[in-house]
Amino acid sequence: MLDIYLITLALSISIGLVSTVLLLALSRTERFLTLFHVRGTLEKPRWGGVVFIATFALTPFIASALSSHASEFFSPKSGSFLGLLAAAALVFVVGFFDDVKLTSPAVRTLVFVAGGAAAYTAGYRIDDIGLPWGPNIHLGAAGFVATVLWIYAVTNAINFIDGRDGVSLGVGIFACVTMAQIAAHSSHPTVALLLVALAGAGLGFLPFNLPPASAYVGDSGAYVIGFVLGTLSIRAATGPTDQVFIAVPLVALGYPILDLVLAPTRRLLQHRHPMIGDEDHIHHRLEVYGAGPRGTLVVIYGLAGLFSFGAILLHYFGQTWMEASVLAAIVLVVGVTLLRLGYILTMWNSRSIVWLRQRVFAPQEGGHPSGE
């Protein structure tokens, strides 16, 4: 089995690398000039999604042609894979046009929901949730909503952190490798191989995306990574009784999910629209505090690695004490990070919190008796 993983990784890295070089070459030709040089990117194309979707689509077919053993696991012509690929292609298309000309939030939401519905139809479902503590939850008809919301959230989370060179791609690779390991251990080899293929595509593109980047991931790339990760993480975290142990992918994707929760919350507390972007994400704060582009990557990759390690511990050691320890460590690391970056002070002094403090802690009208 190890040989199939190595073939998949080597093949996907090669396809990703060659695709990226071709993408860069095409972006410098006069014919493609107006297509690639959009939204101020000049010679830096932002269509990383082309590389990711092409590599993710081609790797199973080529690997199956090279090895009959690989064909048994990949089953590239199966309805499950083709359904996932079609849904990922749909998400890629909206990202592709988003990179050329901004699409409306309503259109993006509609496409993400349609993609999530297609993934659900293809068999990637959250019908039962296994909780770290307490009874398992059977969702019934609500499983469809939970599945779509999870995929929608992860897709947006990866896009949220795509604000600096190498951030979203590196974090995505960490999550892919982590969930691939968990999928392999949970007897989901096909899911593990697909995650390895996506990680390989990212590794082939990463040298060109590290600061200073010569090619950008773009919305199309962030959407594809987020969508495929969100979808495959469901199956990877599914146990033998079809329960999805959602805590594992939540921790594995801890960094992008943290930013997804933090950014809209911060904006709402400041009486701003939660979905209108700004330059106050974690990666922006790190640069403001003097980390620099490469230093920012070191810190973020360190956080992503820590979350990945926590997810693996949760998966392999399901005891209550381990779950509590991982949760406590995550809370501590997140708390210290937010404190050091000034987020806690920013939210404490936000308009909504100031208003609440004035209502709760302000002296009662009329004051205390003077004692005279």
User: Torsions phi, psi of 137, nearest 5?
Assistant: -115, 120
Predicted local confidence at residue 140, as pLDDT: 87
Stronger pLDDT, 229 or 213, i.e. the higher one:
229
Predicted local confidence at residue 237, as pLDDT: 92
DSSP for 232-245 reads: HHHHHTB-TTS-B-
Q: In the structure, what pLDDT confidence band is assigned to residue 369 with cuts at 50, 70 and 90?
A: very low
> Strand, helix or coil at 129?
strand
What does the block give as tokens for 35?
């297509």
> Strand, helix or coil at 317?
coil
Predicted local confidence at residue 76, as pLDDT: 66
Q: What does pTM read for this prediction?
A: 0.89
Predicted local confidence at residue 371, as pLDDT: 41
Closest-CA residue to 71 (of 83, 84, 62): 62
**CA pseudo-torsion sign 272, 276, 281, 285:** negative
Please state the rounded mean pLDDT for residues 30-48.
60
Predicted local confidence at residue 319, as pLDDT: 67
Stronger pLDDT, 47 or 178, i.e. the higher one:
178
Whole-number Å distance between alpha carbons of 18 and 137: 45
Please state the rounded mean pLDDT for residues 130-140.
80
- pLDDT at 364 exceeding the cut of 60: no
Predicted local confidence at residue 255, as pLDDT: 94
- Taking CA atoms, 161 is separated from 27, 172, 223, 306, in Å, by 25, 10, 11, 17
Q: In the structure, what pLDDT confidence band is assigned to residue 360 with cuts at 50, 70 and 90?
A: confident
Please state the rounded mean pLDDT for residues 128-157.
89
Amino acid at 95: G
Hey, where are the domains in the chain?
2-360
**85-98, pLDDT tens digit by residue?**
999 999 999 998 88
Whole-number Å distance between alpha carbons of 153 and 159: 10
Q: What is the mean pLDDT of the chain?
A: 86
Stronger pLDDT, 30 or 127, i.e. the higher one:
127
**202-222, pLDDT tens digit by residue?**
999 999 999 988 889 989 999
- Taking CA atoms, 228 is separated from 115, 242, 262, in Å, by 10, 20, 23
> Strand, helix or coil at 370?
coil
**291-319, pLDDT tens digit by residue?**
888 999 999 999 999 999 999 988 888 66
Please state the rounded mean pLDDT for residues 171-183.
96
**12-24, pLDDT tens digit by residue?**
999 999 999 988 8
- pLDDT at 100 exceeding the cut of 80: no
Please state the rounded mean pLDDT for residues 346-371.
68
Please state the rounded mean pLDDT for residues 250-277.
88
Q: In the structure, what pLDDT confidence band is assigned to residue 370 with cuts at 50, 70 and 90?
A: very low
